[in-house]
Structure 1
Amino acid sequence: MIILRKAEVEDLEEILKINNHEILNSTINYDFDAKTLKEQTDWFNQKNLAGFPILVAVSDGKIAGFATYGTFRPKPGYRFTVEHSVYLGENFRGKGIGTLLLSELIIIAKEAGFHTMIGGIDSSNKGSYLFHQKLGFKEVARFSEVGHKFGRWLDIIFMQLILK
Protein backbone atom coordinates (compact mmCIF):
# COMPACT_ATOMS: atom_id res chain seq x y z
CA MET A 1 0.00 0.00 0.00
CA ILE A 2 1.19 3.51 -0.88
CA ILE A 3 0.63 6.37 1.53
CA LEU A 4 0.93 9.98 0.36
CA ARG A 5 1.74 12.64 2.93
CA LYS A 6 3.52 15.93 3.41
CA ALA A 7 7.28 15.56 3.54
CA GLU A 8 8.93 15.99 6.92
CA VAL A 9 12.50 16.92 7.84
CA GLU A 10 13.12 13.25 8.71
CA ASP A 11 12.42 12.34 5.05
CA LEU A 12 15.20 14.51 3.66
CA GLU A 13 17.94 11.87 3.65
CA GLU A 14 15.79 9.57 1.49
CA ILE A 15 14.68 12.46 -0.73
CA LEU A 16 18.35 13.39 -1.10
CA LYS A 17 19.27 9.85 -2.19
CA ILE A 18 16.57 9.85 -4.87
CA ASN A 19 17.50 13.35 -6.04
CA ASN A 20 21.25 12.65 -6.14
CA HIS A 21 20.77 9.41 -8.06
CA GLU A 22 19.03 11.37 -10.83
CA ILE A 23 21.56 14.21 -10.76
CA LEU A 24 24.49 11.81 -11.14
CA ASN A 25 22.94 9.26 -13.50
CA SER A 26 20.31 10.87 -15.69
CA THR A 27 19.15 13.91 -17.59
CA ILE A 28 15.94 14.15 -15.57
CA ASN A 29 17.75 16.86 -13.62
CA TYR A 30 20.26 19.16 -15.31
CA ASP A 31 22.35 19.68 -12.16
CA PHE A 32 25.83 18.13 -12.22
CA ASP A 33 26.94 17.76 -8.63
CA ALA A 34 25.31 15.74 -5.88
CA LYS A 35 23.50 17.85 -3.31
CA THR A 36 24.46 17.87 0.34
CA LEU A 37 22.00 17.31 3.14
CA LYS A 38 22.33 21.00 3.99
CA GLU A 39 21.40 21.99 0.43
CA GLN A 40 18.41 19.63 0.47
CA THR A 41 17.36 21.03 3.85
CA ASP A 42 17.63 24.59 2.51
CA TRP A 43 15.45 23.56 -0.46
CA PHE A 44 12.91 22.05 1.95
CA ASN A 45 12.85 25.18 4.11
CA GLN A 46 12.51 27.50 1.10
CA LYS A 47 9.58 25.48 -0.27
CA ASN A 48 7.87 25.56 3.11
CA LEU A 49 8.43 29.30 3.56
CA ALA A 50 6.96 29.94 0.12
CA GLY A 51 3.93 27.76 0.92
CA PHE A 52 4.72 25.19 -1.76
CA PRO A 53 3.91 21.54 -1.05
CA ILE A 54 6.39 18.69 -0.92
CA LEU A 55 4.70 15.30 -0.98
CA VAL A 56 6.25 11.92 -0.36
CA ALA A 57 4.95 8.51 -1.32
CA VAL A 58 5.69 5.88 1.32
CA SER A 59 5.72 2.15 0.57
CA ASP A 60 6.33 -0.26 3.44
CA GLY A 61 7.88 2.52 5.50
CA LYS A 62 10.30 3.58 2.73
CA ILE A 63 10.18 6.79 0.72
CA ALA A 64 9.31 5.67 -2.81
CA GLY A 65 9.27 9.13 -4.35
CA PHE A 66 8.52 12.78 -3.88
CA ALA A 67 6.82 15.60 -5.75
CA THR A 68 6.62 19.34 -5.44
CA TYR A 69 5.88 22.48 -7.34
CA GLY A 70 7.21 26.00 -7.21
CA THR A 71 7.52 29.30 -8.98
CA PHE A 72 7.55 29.02 -12.76
CA ARG A 73 9.14 32.43 -13.29
CA PRO A 74 9.67 35.11 -10.64
CA LYS A 75 7.73 37.98 -12.27
CA PRO A 76 4.30 38.80 -10.80
CA GLY A 77 2.50 38.15 -14.08
CA TYR A 78 3.34 34.45 -13.71
CA ARG A 79 1.93 34.17 -10.17
CA PHE A 80 -0.84 31.76 -11.22
CA THR A 81 1.58 29.32 -12.89
CA VAL A 82 3.69 26.66 -11.16
CA GLU A 83 6.33 24.22 -12.38
CA HIS A 84 6.34 20.78 -10.85
CA SER A 85 8.83 17.96 -10.26
CA VAL A 86 8.19 14.28 -9.61
CA TYR A 87 11.01 11.90 -8.64
CA LEU A 88 10.78 8.18 -7.95
CA GLY A 89 13.26 5.79 -6.44
CA GLU A 90 14.69 3.27 -8.91
CA ASN A 91 12.74 0.33 -7.50
CA PHE A 92 9.41 2.16 -7.50
CA ARG A 93 8.96 3.09 -11.15
CA GLY A 94 6.11 1.77 -13.26
CA LYS A 95 3.88 1.07 -10.26
CA GLY A 96 1.54 4.06 -10.51
CA ILE A 97 3.27 6.00 -7.72
CA GLY A 98 4.16 8.93 -9.96
CA THR A 99 0.53 9.16 -11.03
CA LEU A 100 -0.59 9.24 -7.40
CA LEU A 101 1.92 11.95 -6.54
CA LEU A 102 1.23 14.20 -9.52
CA SER A 103 -2.55 13.74 -9.27
CA GLU A 104 -2.41 14.91 -5.65
CA LEU A 105 -0.17 17.86 -6.59
CA ILE A 106 -2.70 18.88 -9.24
CA ILE A 107 -5.49 18.87 -6.65
CA ILE A 108 -3.40 20.94 -4.23
CA ALA A 109 -2.50 23.44 -6.97
CA LYS A 110 -6.15 23.85 -7.95
CA GLU A 111 -7.17 24.38 -4.34
CA ALA A 112 -4.40 26.96 -3.96
CA GLY A 113 -5.84 28.95 -6.88
CA PHE A 114 -3.19 28.24 -9.50
CA HIS A 115 -4.29 28.27 -13.13
CA THR A 116 -1.51 26.45 -14.97
CA MET A 117 1.02 23.73 -14.19
CA ILE A 118 4.16 23.27 -16.29
CA GLY A 119 6.49 20.30 -16.53
CA GLY A 120 9.94 20.54 -18.11
CA ILE A 121 10.94 17.17 -19.56
CA ASP A 122 14.20 16.11 -21.19
CA SER A 123 13.27 15.07 -24.73
CA SER A 124 14.95 11.67 -24.32
CA ASN A 125 12.63 10.82 -21.41
CA LYS A 126 9.79 9.21 -23.39
CA GLY A 127 8.31 7.63 -20.25
CA SER A 128 7.85 11.01 -18.59
CA TYR A 129 6.35 12.45 -21.76
CA LEU A 130 3.74 9.67 -21.93
CA PHE A 131 3.12 9.92 -18.18
CA HIS A 132 2.32 13.62 -18.52
CA GLN A 133 0.10 13.02 -21.55
CA LYS A 134 -1.85 10.44 -19.57
CA LEU A 135 -2.60 13.07 -16.94
CA GLY A 136 -3.81 15.60 -19.51
CA PHE A 137 -0.65 17.64 -20.07
CA LYS A 138 -0.09 18.94 -23.60
CA GLU A 139 3.22 19.72 -25.26
CA VAL A 140 3.46 23.50 -25.68
CA ALA A 141 7.16 24.07 -26.43
CA ARG A 142 10.28 22.22 -27.47
CA PHE A 143 13.66 23.88 -27.10
CA SER A 144 16.66 22.42 -28.90
CA GLU A 145 20.11 22.24 -27.32
CA VAL A 146 19.31 24.40 -24.27
CA GLY A 147 20.98 22.05 -21.79
CA HIS A 148 24.36 20.36 -21.74
CA LYS A 149 25.22 17.35 -19.61
CA PHE A 150 27.31 14.19 -20.00
CA GLY A 151 29.09 15.78 -22.96
CA ARG A 152 25.99 16.24 -25.10
CA TRP A 153 23.40 18.85 -25.91
CA LEU A 154 19.96 18.31 -24.44
CA ASP A 155 16.53 19.35 -25.67
CA ILE A 156 13.73 20.15 -23.26
CA ILE A 157 9.98 19.88 -23.77
CA PHE A 158 7.53 22.01 -21.81
CA MET A 159 4.18 20.37 -21.14
CA GLN A 160 1.27 22.28 -19.70
CA LEU A 161 -1.93 21.46 -17.86
CA ILE A 162 -4.61 24.11 -17.48
CA LEU A 163 -6.01 23.58 -13.99
CA LYS A 164 -9.80 23.82 -14.07
Structure 2
Amino acid sequence: MTVRPATPDDVPAITAVYGHHVEHTVATFDLDRPTEAERAAWLAAHPGGRHRVLVAERDGAVVGFAASGPFRPRPAYDATVETSVYLAPDATGQGLGRALYARLLEALAGEDVHRVLAVVAQPNPVSEALHRSFGFTHVATISEVGRKFGRWVDVAWWQKNL
Protein backbone atom coordinates (compact mmCIF):
# COMPACT_ATOMS: atom_id res chain seq x y z
CA MET A 1 0.00 0.00 0.00
CA THR A 2 1.22 3.46 -0.92
CA VAL A 3 0.07 6.81 0.48
CA ARG A 4 0.68 9.75 -1.83
CA PRO A 5 -0.74 13.16 -2.77
CA ALA A 6 -3.89 12.94 -4.87
CA THR A 7 -3.73 13.93 -8.53
CA PRO A 8 -6.48 14.75 -11.04
CA ASP A 9 -6.15 11.16 -12.33
CA ASP A 10 -7.49 10.00 -8.95
CA VAL A 11 -10.79 11.87 -9.27
CA PRO A 12 -12.85 8.90 -10.57
CA ALA A 13 -11.72 6.69 -7.67
CA ILE A 14 -12.14 9.46 -5.08
CA THR A 15 -15.63 10.10 -6.47
CA ALA A 16 -16.51 6.40 -6.21
CA VAL A 17 -15.24 6.08 -2.62
CA TYR A 18 -16.98 9.25 -1.46
CA GLY A 19 -20.13 8.40 -3.41
CA HIS A 20 -20.41 5.12 -1.55
CA HIS A 21 -20.42 6.99 1.77
CA VAL A 22 -22.96 9.52 0.50
CA GLU A 23 -25.34 6.75 -0.53
CA HIS A 24 -24.80 4.23 2.28
CA THR A 25 -23.44 5.87 5.45
CA VAL A 26 -23.82 8.91 7.68
CA ALA A 27 -20.07 9.57 7.55
CA THR A 28 -20.91 12.52 5.29
CA PHE A 29 -24.01 14.65 5.44
CA ASP A 30 -24.04 15.10 1.67
CA LEU A 31 -27.26 13.65 0.29
CA ASP A 32 -26.48 13.54 -3.43
CA ARG A 33 -23.69 11.52 -4.97
CA PRO A 34 -21.12 13.98 -6.38
CA THR A 35 -20.16 14.10 -10.01
CA GLU A 36 -16.57 13.72 -11.09
CA ALA A 37 -16.58 17.41 -12.09
CA GLU A 38 -17.64 18.38 -8.57
CA ARG A 39 -14.94 16.20 -7.00
CA ALA A 40 -12.36 17.61 -9.44
CA ALA A 41 -13.25 21.13 -8.30
CA TRP A 42 -13.03 20.00 -4.67
CA LEU A 43 -9.59 18.47 -5.29
CA ALA A 44 -8.40 21.67 -6.98
CA ALA A 45 -9.40 23.58 -3.83
CA HIS A 46 -7.01 21.36 -1.82
CA PRO A 47 -3.69 22.05 -3.57
CA GLY A 48 -1.35 21.23 -0.68
CA GLY A 49 -0.11 23.04 2.38
CA ARG A 50 -2.84 23.19 5.01
CA HIS A 51 -5.50 21.98 2.57
CA ARG A 52 -4.48 18.73 0.91
CA VAL A 53 -5.73 15.32 -0.17
CA LEU A 54 -3.77 12.09 0.16
CA VAL A 55 -4.80 8.77 -1.37
CA ALA A 56 -4.11 5.18 -0.38
CA GLU A 57 -3.23 3.07 -3.38
CA ARG A 58 -3.16 -0.72 -3.30
CA ASP A 59 -2.27 -2.85 -6.33
CA GLY A 60 -2.53 0.24 -8.54
CA ALA A 61 -6.02 1.20 -7.37
CA VAL A 62 -7.04 4.06 -5.08
CA VAL A 63 -8.91 2.54 -2.12
CA GLY A 64 -9.27 5.57 0.13
CA PHE A 65 -8.35 9.15 0.81
CA ALA A 66 -7.71 11.58 3.65
CA ALA A 67 -8.25 15.31 3.39
CA SER A 68 -7.66 18.47 5.34
CA GLY A 69 -9.64 21.56 4.50
CA PRO A 70 -10.67 24.90 5.89
CA PHE A 71 -12.63 24.91 9.13
CA ARG A 72 -14.43 28.17 8.35
CA PRO A 73 -13.93 30.72 5.55
CA ARG A 74 -12.96 33.69 7.74
CA PRO A 75 -9.20 34.40 7.88
CA ALA A 76 -8.87 34.21 11.67
CA TYR A 77 -9.58 30.47 11.34
CA ASP A 78 -6.74 29.87 8.85
CA ALA A 79 -4.57 27.89 11.28
CA THR A 80 -7.42 25.45 12.01
CA VAL A 81 -8.26 22.61 9.62
CA GLU A 82 -10.98 20.00 9.49
CA THR A 83 -9.94 16.49 8.49
CA SER A 84 -11.68 13.43 7.10
CA VAL A 85 -10.82 9.92 5.98
CA TYR A 86 -12.89 7.77 3.61
CA LEU A 87 -12.19 4.19 2.54
CA ALA A 88 -13.71 1.91 -0.06
CA PRO A 89 -15.97 -0.67 1.60
CA ASP A 90 -13.54 -3.52 0.88
CA ALA A 91 -10.59 -1.55 2.32
CA THR A 92 -11.78 -1.17 5.91
CA GLY A 93 -10.26 -2.95 8.90
CA GLN A 94 -6.81 -3.25 7.29
CA GLY A 95 -5.01 -0.27 8.79
CA LEU A 96 -5.38 1.88 5.67
CA GLY A 97 -7.30 4.63 7.48
CA ARG A 98 -4.63 4.74 10.16
CA ALA A 99 -1.86 4.95 7.55
CA LEU A 100 -3.66 7.75 5.69
CA TYR A 101 -4.31 9.73 8.87
CA ALA A 102 -0.73 9.30 10.09
CA ARG A 103 0.67 10.69 6.83
CA LEU A 104 -1.87 13.53 6.77
CA LEU A 105 -1.08 14.60 10.34
CA GLU A 106 2.65 14.30 9.65
CA ALA A 107 2.29 16.59 6.62
CA LEU A 108 0.15 19.09 8.55
CA ALA A 109 2.75 19.27 11.33
CA GLY A 110 5.05 20.99 8.85
CA GLU A 111 2.45 23.64 7.98
CA ASP A 112 1.01 26.66 9.78
CA VAL A 113 -1.65 24.53 11.49
CA HIS A 114 -2.41 24.99 15.16
CA ARG A 115 -5.60 22.94 15.58
CA VAL A 116 -6.94 19.91 13.74
CA LEU A 117 -10.66 19.16 14.03
CA ALA A 118 -12.67 16.09 13.12
CA VAL A 119 -16.44 15.79 13.07
CA VAL A 120 -17.65 12.21 13.59
CA ALA A 121 -21.25 11.19 12.95
CA GLN A 122 -22.58 9.08 15.79
CA PRO A 123 -22.33 6.29 16.62
CA ASN A 124 -18.89 5.46 15.24
CA PRO A 125 -16.70 3.75 17.85
CA VAL A 126 -14.07 2.80 15.25
CA SER A 127 -13.52 6.42 14.20
CA GLU A 128 -13.53 7.56 17.83
CA ALA A 129 -10.85 4.99 18.70
CA LEU A 130 -8.79 6.10 15.69
CA HIS A 131 -8.95 9.75 16.75
CA ARG A 132 -8.15 8.91 20.36
CA SER A 133 -5.11 6.89 19.24
CA PHE A 134 -3.75 9.96 17.43
CA GLY A 135 -4.15 12.15 20.50
CA PHE A 136 -7.42 13.84 19.61
CA THR A 137 -9.68 14.89 22.47
CA HIS A 138 -13.46 14.70 22.36
CA VAL A 139 -14.70 18.24 23.02
CA ALA A 140 -18.42 18.17 22.23
CA THR A 141 -21.33 16.17 20.93
CA ILE A 142 -24.13 18.04 19.22
CA SER A 143 -27.44 16.21 19.15
CA GLU A 144 -29.60 15.74 16.09
CA VAL A 145 -27.84 18.23 13.80
CA GLY A 146 -28.17 16.18 10.63
CA ARG A 147 -31.02 14.19 9.13
CA LYS A 148 -30.15 11.37 6.79
CA PHE A 149 -31.88 8.13 5.86
CA GLY A 150 -34.99 9.32 7.69
CA ARG A 151 -33.34 9.73 11.08
CA TRP A 152 -31.60 12.39 13.11
CA VAL A 153 -27.83 12.04 13.53
CA ASP A 154 -25.60 13.42 16.29
CA VAL A 155 -22.03 14.53 15.65
CA ALA A 156 -19.03 14.40 17.97
CA TRP A 157 -16.30 17.03 17.66
CA TRP A 158 -12.69 15.97 18.20
CA GLN A 159 -9.63 18.23 18.27
CA LYS A 160 -5.86 17.98 18.37
CA ASN A 161 -3.15 20.59 18.70
CA LEU A 162 -0.16 20.35 16.39
- Fold match (TM-score > 0.5): yes
Displacement, 1:135?
1.2
Matched residues in 1 for 2:2 and 2:160: separation?
Answer: 25
Instruction: Specify the SS of the correspondent of 2:47.
Output: helix
Runs of 4+ displaced beyond 4 Å: none
The answer to whether the aligner puts 1:156 opposite 2:141 as a matched pair is: no
C-alpha displacement of 1:107: 1.2
Determine helix, strand or coil for the equivalent of 2:102: helix
Kindly state the Cα deviation for residue 50 of structure 1 after the two structures are TM-superposed: 7.9
Count of residues in correspondence between the two structures: 162
Q: Is the 8 A contact 2:50 2:81 kept in 1?
A: no
Paired letter, 2:110: E
Hey, what's the Cα distance between the residues in 2 that align with 1:52 and 1:69? 5
Paired residues for 1:99-138 under 5 Å:
99-138=98-137
Residues 1:49 and 1:110: Cα distance change in structure 2 (over 3 Å) = closer
Encode CA deviations 1:26-48: one digit per residue, 9 max, x unaligned: 00000111101111111111222
Secondary structure of 1:114's aligned partner: coil
Partner of 1:84: 83
> What TM-score results when the alignment is normalised by the length of structure 1?
0.95
Q: Is the 8 A contact 2:70 2:80 kept in 1?
A: yes
3-state SS of paired residue (1:128): helix
Determine if the alignment matches structure 1 residue 61 to structure 2 residue 66: no
Unaligned ranges ≥5, structure 1: none
**Which whole-Å deviations, capped at 9, do the CAs of 1:11-70 have from their partners, x for residues lacking one?**
110110000000000000001111011111111112228862110011111111101101
Matched-pair identity in %:
35
Q: How far has the Cα of 1:112 moved from its partner?
A: 0.8
Kindly state the Cα deviation for residue 76 of structure 1 after the two structures are TM-superposed.
Answer: 2.0
**The residue matched to 1:28 in structure 2 has which SS?**
coil
Q: Does the residue aligned with 2:66 lie in a helix, a strand or coil?
A: strand
RMSD: 1.3
